Amino acid sequence: MRSRARRSRALGRLVFLGPGLTYLLVLLLVPLALLIAFTVFRRGRFGGVVYEVTGENFARLLDPLYLEIVLGSLKLATIATLIALLIGYPTAYLIAQLPRKWKTIALVAIVLPFWTNFLVRIYAWIILLSGPGLVNSTLLDLGLIDKPLELLYNQGTIVTGLVYSYLPLMVLPLYAAIEKLDPQLREASANLGASPARTFASVTLPLTLPAVFTGCLFVFVPSFGNFIIPELLGGGRSIMVGNLIRDQFLKARDWPFGSTLMLALLAVLIILLLLQAWSARRA
């Protein structure tokens, strides 16, 4: 009887877990296994995969051309993350101080862009920053410039697009952390004679550091692998890791090297996640 009951419970768990496990198996584990397997094979003469084991794909990762693209992507993603942090922290702090009704309105305003199609938002930036766009038209009407500025297709525009797209991912974890802070801690610091700046540096910031790391991770990861924003706002002049991987699969048809790049990118992201988990545990 007991064994039958155990089998029934196991069957029940399998029925409930089956769809989720199938989803993970088909859409995550199988593609990941294929990706790892392709890294050790050669590219065919006309594309595709030749099943001859080689280590040349990993050696190509050290090619100065690809290292330059990786370092350039790191630079743009890091700048975007720091700017998002500089904007996001005070924004989250101010929202946490608002009355409850205004907090909800402010949070909806922060999240609202996420409800709009990503491409639509990027094309909106193109319209704003183009030669006859709103920004140039306004500056010309005010007499501040004589001819339209070239605001598109440079690295500054790419960083602007990255910050705009992922800023909510910085604000929300910071807001949650600041909102949970015990107000008595800051009151105690003030009662002991600390200035607001000292209270922020000694109490608020240390207690919200895990959220800072989480927000930075949430912004950095999609920024580092993004290929749509460099393509549209950068005009294809600045290649990031995401563009390089896409080109290996769709243009060069070098699946083994594209898979190796993907694996390297995945390793970087796993290291960042482990660092974030470590910082959260220490906090």
CB-based contact 49:57 (threshold 8 Å)? no
Q: Range with the lowest mean pLDDT among 6-20, 138-152, 267-281?
A: 6-20
Q: What is the pTM of this model?
A: 0.84
Contact (Cβ atoms closer than 8 angstroms) between residue 137 and residue 149:
no
Q: What pLDDT was estimated at residue 283?
A: 65
**Residue 25 per-residue DSSP state:** I
Query: What would the mean pLDDT of 208-232 be, rounded to a whole number?
Result: 90
- DSSP states along 89-137: HHHHHHHHHS-HHHHHHHHHHHHGGGGS-HHHHHHHHHHHHSTTSHHHH
Q: What is the Cβ-side half-sphere exposure of residue 173, based on CA atoms within 13 angstroms?
A: 20
What percent of the residues of the chain are helix, what percent strand, and what percent coil, each to the nearest 5? Answer: 75, 0, 20
Q: What percent of the chain has pLDDT over 70?
A: 99
Least confident span in 8-12, 48-52, 159-163, 243-247: 8-12
Q: What number of other Cβ atoms are within 10 A of residue 10's Cβ?
A: 10
Average pLDDT over residues 10-33: 82
Q: With contact defined as beta carbons under 8 Å apart, do 212 and 200 qualify?
A: no
pLDDT score recorded for residue 2:
64
Where residue 130 falls (left for φ over 0; alpha for ψ -120 to 50; beta otherwise) is beta
- Residue 191's pLDDT is 84
Cα(205)–Cα(207) distance, integer angstroms: 5
CA distance 80 to 74: 10
What average pLDDT does this structure show over 231-252? 86
> Cβ distance 216 to 105 under 8 Å?
no
Say if residue 167's pLDDT is above 90.
yes
> Higher-confidence residue: 48 or 108?
108
- Max mean pLDDT among 91-95, 107-111, 140-144, 270-274 falls in 91-95
Taking the C-alpha atoms of residue 235 and residue 254, their distance in angstroms, rounded to an integer, is 24
Residues 6+ apart with CB under 8 A from 60: 66, 257, 260
Share of the chain above pLDDT 90, in %: 28
Chain centre distance of CA 126: 21
Q: Are the C-beta atoms of residues 219 and 80 closer than 8 Å to each other?
A: yes
- Whether 1 shows a pLDDT value over 70: the answer reads no
Residue 225 gets which letter from DSSP?
T
Predicted pLDDT at 184: 87
C-alpha–C-alpha distance, residues 49 and 194, integer Å: 65
- What pLDDT, on a 0 to 100 scale, did the predictor assign at position 187? 83
d(CA 129, CA 149): 9
68 or 24, higher pLDDT: 68
Nearest partner of 181 among 200, 167, 198, 194, judged by Cα: 200
Any residues with CB less than 8 A from the CB of 48 and at least 6 apart, and which?
253, 255
